[in-house]
Amino acid sequence: NAGVTQTPKFQVLKTGQSMTLQCAQDMNHEYMSWYRQDPGMGLRLIHYSVGAGITDQGEVPNGYNVSRSTTEDFPLRLLSAAPSQTSVYFCASSQNGQVGNYGYTFGSGTRLTVV
Amino acid sequence: AQSVTQLDSQVPVFEEAPVELRCNYSSSVSVYLFWYVQYPNQGLQLLLKYLSGSTLVKGINGFEAEFNKSQTSFHLRKPSVHISDTAEYFCAVSYGGATNKLIFGTGTLLAVQP
């Protein structure tokens, strides 16, 4: 049981480049989300999805796109990377959308540096 | 606005001493409360949670937390810490019960010294 798998673990981008951070879960969780973690700011929600075909914005969505074509995958796209997007990105999932009952399962993170 | 406050960004403590990490949330009728731990270069792991019932919640690794509705707090405690407890600890709140979103605090780094 792999849980939540994020790839890549590390990435360096040049300003203006695009890339996709991958997130996959094998627990049949309906709810998936992306957070960014910055020093002194904790975790901030970027986008989330309550099921295949359904996505919504979180607290800091600007500069990021998501889609949810399958239950298992929830990729995060940076269309034109900026230094302000240098951060550690975490994908998290929850069973049945009931975060209060189950909490989140987190991936191990992607450390992104934009130069 | 819904928020979570962890006032202490870093808590230094000697090994085998007790520790308390503070968490306060903005008042709401219904809240679910969580503590997560993040070891260096890893993701977050669930330490414990409060949904309802007994206000004293026990978690993994000897940690416990107490829900105090009147003070809107959910402080994390451990009677005797180990070097291996050195990590960042995040308090998180789900407002409204069934909502899908967790709001996280800014984290507290617990630094255990020998």
Chain A residues close to B90, C-beta within 8 Å: 42-43
A35 touches chain B (CB under 8 A): yes
In what helix (H) or strand (E) does residue B53 lie, and over which residues does it extend? Answer: none
Chain A residues close to B9, C-beta within 8 Å: 40
pLDDT over 90 (residue B91): yes
pLDDT score of B9: 94
Q: How many CA atoms lie within 13 A of B24 on its CB side?
A: 8
pLDDT in tens, chain A (115 residues): 679 999 999 999 999 999 999 999 999 999 999 999 998 888 999 999 989 999 999 989 999 999 999 999 999 999 999 999 999 999 999 887 677 677 889 999 999 999 9
pLDDT score of B30: 78
Cα separation, A108 vs B29, in Å, equals: 33
Bridge partner list, B64: B58, B77
